Structure 1
Amino acid sequence: MKIFAARGRRLAVADPGMSEPQSTVERSGLPHRFEAVGEALISGSDVMGACSVAGEELARDGASVEETLAGLRATWQAAAGADPTYDVVSAVLTAWSETTLGYLHQLSCEDPLTGLSSQAHLRSRLTELYRLGGAGVPGGVDDYALVVFAMPTGDPSDEPGDHFTRAMRLARAGELARTAFARDETVARLGLHRVGILTRRDDRLGRRVQVLRTLLARAEPDTVVRVWIEGLPGADAVAGMMLDELARG
């Protein structure tokens, strides 16, 4: 079964009956994407590195985990006459799973626990802004800001493994954020305790932030919820690093 590609693939082997010029895969007799692994195995060079690269490439191709393991075993049998070791299988599957997971995260627009936009979606919205115009360009990033609020720590939702209680707390806070920012703003989850709101920087921004502070204070009367405005940096890459830093906070 494919993971995220529509195009099918088969493990290619050389066909001695073919009269047309054969591809590199067919000439080597090794499965697609495993040619470098076979070469590394035979030459004694960096097999683990080649396995990691093969796992990443197969994930991008849309190969299933079954196909990936079958190709790995066929390569080892052809080049070494034995089955691959645990370390080799682990290297391939780790690379495959991390690449696949990264792809799926990029597709996700909504955080499944809170119903807020995902951090990946907020990141893509920022990238769109930078494509429209960087710093100093009308309608570009200078016309937008990121409003952030951080729920206080130290309550029962911070117990290890209590993801549901923490998520519900953020979901309620997110609904309050949508009350204060009720236009086309992107309200997204940032890490475990923070929410980010991508909004236009206009003459009403300060007043709307104050409304949000008031709503959060009423919802969390025994705590102090920090709310602040983050200016957007001049470069898209720096904006990505800023989001990562906010999510770790």
Structure 2
Amino acid sequence: MRELSDEQRAELPSRFEAVAEALAERSSYVAEACWVAGHDLAERGVSLGESLEDLRTTTQAVNARDPAFTEVHALSVAWSEATLGYLHTLSCADPLTGLATLAHVRERISELYRDARAVSHALVVTDAHLPGNPGGKLDSIAAARRMSLLGQTARSVFAGAAAVGQVGHNRMVVVAARDETLVKRLSLLKRMVEHSADRIWIEGLPENDRSAGILLDELARGA
């Protein structure tokens, strides 16, 4: 065990001090420190190549050697997991409304078919329009705000729904359980929606996954 010198600390890249201290102390937690650094760097938008180069700079400064496999592996895995998590979030939810994307709704429905549970679910579809403008589309900002509020309301009514997503400019779908509460929940959603111009109805899921994809595409085109 040894202390890092001032010269060594001055050579360290940003976010690698904990890794350097673990290396200097010959700690068994070097890999864990590399994992934390990799995750942190990915969240800050630092590339994997730059992160690995900074790791090499750190091990050279502290122990005059290149990184060990376990150190590279820990940093790389953490960086990849953080990046994939971020990309997954982007692909699953619309950043303006917070509603699931069409692709995410499609995947949730496919899972129901794979698990032979599609027959026990249905789509609750809502067309959102401003009062005095039935059948018309909202402008982008008004639509995003309206859809976000609708999504919050739908989640409160259909707690535990497989998905609450946006499938068009002004259309929302809830992949809800087809049980004895479905009609009651639908009525409650209608009462909670403040604009009378909204139209809400139930679409049954078809017999197979392919037909369900066609149905979603039709709903998206008609929105």
Q: What TM-score, normalized to structure 2?
A: 0.55
Structure-2 residue corresponding to 1:24? none
Deviation at 1:214, TM superposition (A): 0.3
Unaligned runs of at least 5 residues, structure 2: 1-47, 49-86
Unaligned runs of at least 5 residues, structure 1: 1-5, 7-103, 134-139
Kindly report the root-mean-square deviation, in angstroms, between the aligned alpha carbons of the 2 structures.
2.4
Pick 1 or 2: higher relative contact order, CA cutoff 8 A, min separation 6.
2
- Tell me the alpha carbon deviations over residues 38-94 of structure 1, each in whole angstroms, 9 at most, x when there is no partner: xxxxxxxxxxxxxxxxxxxxxxxxxxxxxxxxxxxxxxxxxxxxxxxxxxxxxxxxx
Letter of the 1:179 partner, please give it: S
Structure-1 residue corresponding to 2:200? 227
Say whether 1:238 aligns with 2:211.
Answer: yes
Q: Which runs of 4+ in 1 moved over 4 A?
A: 104-107
Q: Could you tell me how far apart the structure 1 residues matched to 2:220 and 2:103 are?
A: 11
Q: Is the 8 A contact 2:108 2:162 kept in 1?
A: no
Give the match's secondary structure for 1:108.
helix
**Map 1:139-178 → 2, pairs under 5 A:** 140-152=117-129, 154=133, 158=137, 162-178=139-155
Letter of the 1:122 partner, please give it: V
User: Relative to structure 2, which stretch is displaced further, 164-173 or 192-201?
Assistant: 164-173
What percent of counterpart residues are identical? 42
Q: Could you tell me how far apart the structure 1 residues matched to 2:205 and 2:178 are?
A: 11
Distance 1:128 1:115, change over 3 A: same
- Number of residues of Structure 1 aligned to a counterpart in Structure 2: 134
Give the match's secondary structure for 2:92.
coil
Q: What TM-score, normalized to structure 1?
A: 0.50
Letter of the 2:105 partner, please give it: L
Say whether 1:113 aligns with 2:96.
Answer: yes
Letter of the 1:118 partner, please give it: T
**Map 1:51-200 → 2, pairs under 5 A:** 108-133=91-116, 140-152=117-129, 154=133, 158=137, 162-200=139-177
Q: Could you tell me how far apart the structure 2 residues matched to 1:158 and 1:142 are?
A: 32
Deviation at 1:105, TM superposition (A): 9.6
